[in-house]
Structure 1
């Protein structure tokens, strides 16, 4: 029913395209959508893509050598953008009809349909304000890049562990040209701190954060800052270096991606939630088909002294906070959060025949008390990935990608069913992407 409602919504929004004689199709480029405009200057773009996907996982130390296979529609997305006559006002509505989450981590991540829904207004030529739901500048750089333009089949494990992906709130973005042709791009965000699609009670306080990007060699060509592969083959070196920071005043999930997942109370049965701080540094470099991304993220938590109770999954209340047989409230709370640090380094080269060869190394270092030590979903410090892609057009309209990831599993790790494993594991992935 949700998918049907979204299809109806897109149909309603598209009615003016069919009903008004003043709207006409400007152009269509395969993979880059349909571009419409009106006689008064306003414009609309409708685009989308589908990504069928297969994954094979094997636990090396298991005697039975069992393979775990998964076939699914990884993404099936529609995106509607519009601009006003003077281009100061713009909007976006983006949905996913596959029913799968952007990043599947703890096994209970629910699929979402509504991704982006926001309105932006350009106060000046350099400054814009956005209100609604969108990607947040406080995540690592990979999350600021479109899923259709990923260099490898999936995003890195740093993104999986620490990102919130999308949030609802107020966003401010600016671009300043400095002497010598360099640019400075600051971004600020004030959000609800509960991730996306929060329809229930808003828990905790707000989340405050921002990002500062510096581009010493000028702007990337054709939105290259937000796309991983150097498809345009930059004629001169392009680099962006950024830092990000956020403070979430009271979260009720592992990293602020959801609302009401984990709740604590004080003696008066009032909610008392931990605070979550995250910061990082990252860069993107491109030149003549070569691209490289580097990211570092660190997270910490502050646990209130008045927490005395916790709400179980079934809604019952418990005052037990045992850690290694000892009542330890602060470390019990931290043990359910994504605390620690990680870094990701990936690079690749796109040949002129549109074949790309890419590699990535990701490292996670969990705090002593952190959900990053969970044996089933994490507890794996090192990820080594090699990938190869074939782009069927000189854009992201159609491509085939395959990757192989070898994973170091620390002692105490489990398979996806919670059974202990004796060795490491590997994952093979294949995805096909086609857009319109």
Structure 2
């Protein structure tokens, strides 16, 4: 797989640079290259982006002194291809991750191959607002996960998303939207997927995963779908509100976080249990004001994995609930001040660190919207049974 990706990227670069003198790209932030067929039966938009992150953490150790750790890394580095094929009603997206955090490791379940592929799907708008999506994509879970990592209000998503989101999987999705009144928009999305996460190659190891999400927009649609972007860069001239609810059921799940986390292995195979995840969220924007709130809950039929003799294996499903609220104000010069509070409350039987609260203050400068921005934030986290942690981060984002 590595050789295949390298060959693909090399071929792309050769084609691009061999014709560079004849190509004029689009405006900054609209992709590096736009190509369309001579007969208008296909198109491709190619974009790339990366994030450079520096962070430091401070935590008191058992001796009473403070430990300091720092990290400097390429947080994300991605290539995106999207467009239509044969007809404009048939669109596609391919997104490849190149950074270590994007790849997320190799294992037996991925044929010991790094997980380069993030999105790979076709979407067919077959009737009015009804579309069907086939392939690997984000599942319709919490709104924070549906927002692109390149369009976040803070350096990264909240702890709620880190612990409870259901991320990507491969399968089929049905999408629809309609107006209840001239201004009351309703969106529905349903997904049927394998339930084991992205890039799994060894076959379905449990049951299947079923996900549904409904969104209510009583005050009308947001400008340019900016409910799925952090901050208030569109500066809505009228108040806009979206309220969403999502439900996910993973039948005979084999991972500690539904279709994420670690595989729960035993000597006889994989431990299986039904896992249910519920999300409720809301997004509000008006002029320079933006607010986002969300709640998550995960439960399992049997949270503690056991072997054939009934002995715990050490693996547990991360059950519990979380709440996150964040907001910001965007000034006319595109500087933004934002704040976030996140509360995690895990079930006692599955987590020794049952409760965590995190308070975050962020400052962002949007130089060219989300395509070129500098973000910094500082967080203070408290735990039920360990020392508090302070974390500071600074990140540069560039998207072509």
TM-score for both structures, normalised by structure 1: 0.82
Q: Which residue of the partner structure matches residue 416 of structure 1?
A: none
Pick which of 249-258 and 286-295 moved more. 249-258
User: 1-side partners of 2:373 and 2:49: how far apart?
Assistant: 11
TM-superposed deviation, 1:256: 2.2
Check the 8 A contact 1:26/1:36 in 2, yes or no.
no
**Structure 1 position 122 matched with structure 2 position 148:** no
TM-superposed deviation, 1:154: 1.1
TM-superposed deviation, 1:380: 4.4
Pick one of 343, 346, 351 that aligns with 2:323: 343
1:88 is paired with a residue whose SS is strand
Q: Which residue of the partner structure matches residue 298 of structure 1?
A: 297
Q: Which residue of the partner structure matches residue 30 of structure 1?
A: 28
TM-superposed deviation, 1:116: 0.4
Q: Which residue of the partner structure matches residue 390 of structure 1?
A: 365
Check the 8 A contact 1:295/1:344 in 2, yes or no.
yes
1:28 is paired with a residue whose SS is coil
Relative distance call for 1:154 and 1:260 in structure 2 (3 A) is: closer
**1:275-303 CA deviation, whole Å, 9 max, x = no partner?**
10011210111110211110001111112
Q: Which residue of the partner structure matches residue 314 of structure 1?
A: none
1:161 is paired with a residue whose SS is helix
TM-superposed deviation, 1:32: 2.4
TM-superposed deviation, 1:57: 0.5
TM-superposed deviation, 1:84: 2.8
2:7 is paired with a residue whose SS is helix
TM-superposed deviation, 1:183: 0.8
**1:226-268 CA deviation, whole Å, 9 max, x = no partner?**
2111111111111110100011011111112348721358xxx
Q: Which residue of the partner structure matches residue 51 of structure 2?
A: 51
User: 2-side partners of 1:96 and 1:220: how far apart?
Assistant: 29
Q: Which structure 1 segments of 5+ residues have no match?
A: 105-109, 311-317, 323-331, 414-422
Q: Which residue of the partner structure matches residue 223 of structure 1?
A: 225
User: 1-side partners of 2:262 and 2:332: how far apart?
Assistant: 50
User: 2-side partners of 1:10 and 1:164: how far apart?
Assistant: 29
User: 1-side partners of 2:206 and 2:155: how far apart?
Assistant: 35
Q: Which structure 2 segments of 5+ residues have no match?
A: 106-112
Relative distance call for 1:227 and 1:270 in structure 2 (3 A) is: closer
1:8 is paired with a residue whose SS is helix
User: 2-side partners of 1:116 and 1:132: how far apart?
Assistant: 8
User: 1-side partners of 2:325 and 2:382: how far apart?
Assistant: 17
1:382 is paired with a residue whose SS is strand
Relative distance call for 1:308 and 1:156 in structure 2 (3 A) is: closer
Q: Which residue of the partner structure matches residue 312 of structure 2?
A: 321
Q: Which residue of the partner structure matches residue 327 of structure 1?
A: none
User: 2-side partners of 1:196 and 1:163: how far apart?
Assistant: 13
Give RMSD over aligned pairs: 2.8
TM-superposed deviation, 1:56: 0.3
Pick one of 382, 392, 399 that aligns with 1:408: 382
Q: Which residue of the partner structure matches residue 131 of structure 1?
A: 134
Relative distance call for 1:15 and 1:185 in structure 2 (3 A) is: farther
TM-superposed deviation, 1:202: 2.1
TM-score for both structures, normalised by structure 2: 0.89
**Structure 1 position 66 matched with structure 2 position 67:** yes
TM-superposed deviation, 1:14: 8.4
Paired residues, number: 388
Relative distance call for 1:319 and 1:60 in structure 2 (3 A) is: same
Q: Which residue of the partner structure matches residue 110 of structure 2?
A: none
